[in-house]
Amino acid sequence: MSRKASSMDADLQKVFGKPIPVLSEAVVGHDASPALARALELRSFLALTEEQVARVRVRDRVHADMDPDRDMGELSADKLRFDAQWLEAALDARDGYRAALGELLRTMPPPDQRARPVRTTQHRATATLPASAAPAPPRAGAAPAPRP
pLDDT surpassing 80 at residue 99: yes
CA 119 to chain centre: 25
Highest mean pLDDT among 49-53, 83-87, 99-103: 99-103
Q: Does a structural domain hold residue 19?
A: yes
What is the average pLDDT score of the chain?
Answer: 80
Q: How much of the chain, in percent, has pLDDT values that exceed 90?
A: 32
Which pLDDT value is given to residue 145? Answer: 63
123 in any annotated domain:
no
Q: Is residue 91 part of a domain?
A: yes
Is there a domain that residue 69 lies in?
A: yes
Boundaries of domain holding 44:
9-110
90 belongs to a structural domain: yes
Tell me phi and psi for residue 99, to 5 degrees. Answer: -65, -45
Helix axes 20-28, 34-55, angle to 10 degrees: 120
In-domain check, residue 147:
no
Question: How many domains in the chain?
Answer: 1
**pLDDT tens-digit profile of 72-91?**
888 888 988 888 888 888 89
Range list of H helices, the chain: 9-16, 20-28, 34-55, 58-65, 77-107
What confidence score (pLDDT) does residue 141 get?
Answer: 57
Least confident segment among 12-16, 41-45, 134-138: 134-138
- pLDDT score of 10 more than 60: yes
Domain assignment present for 131:
no
Three-state DSSP at 7 gives coil
Tell me whether residue 122 is in a domain.
no
Asked if the model's pLDDT at residue 120 lies above 70, the reply is: no
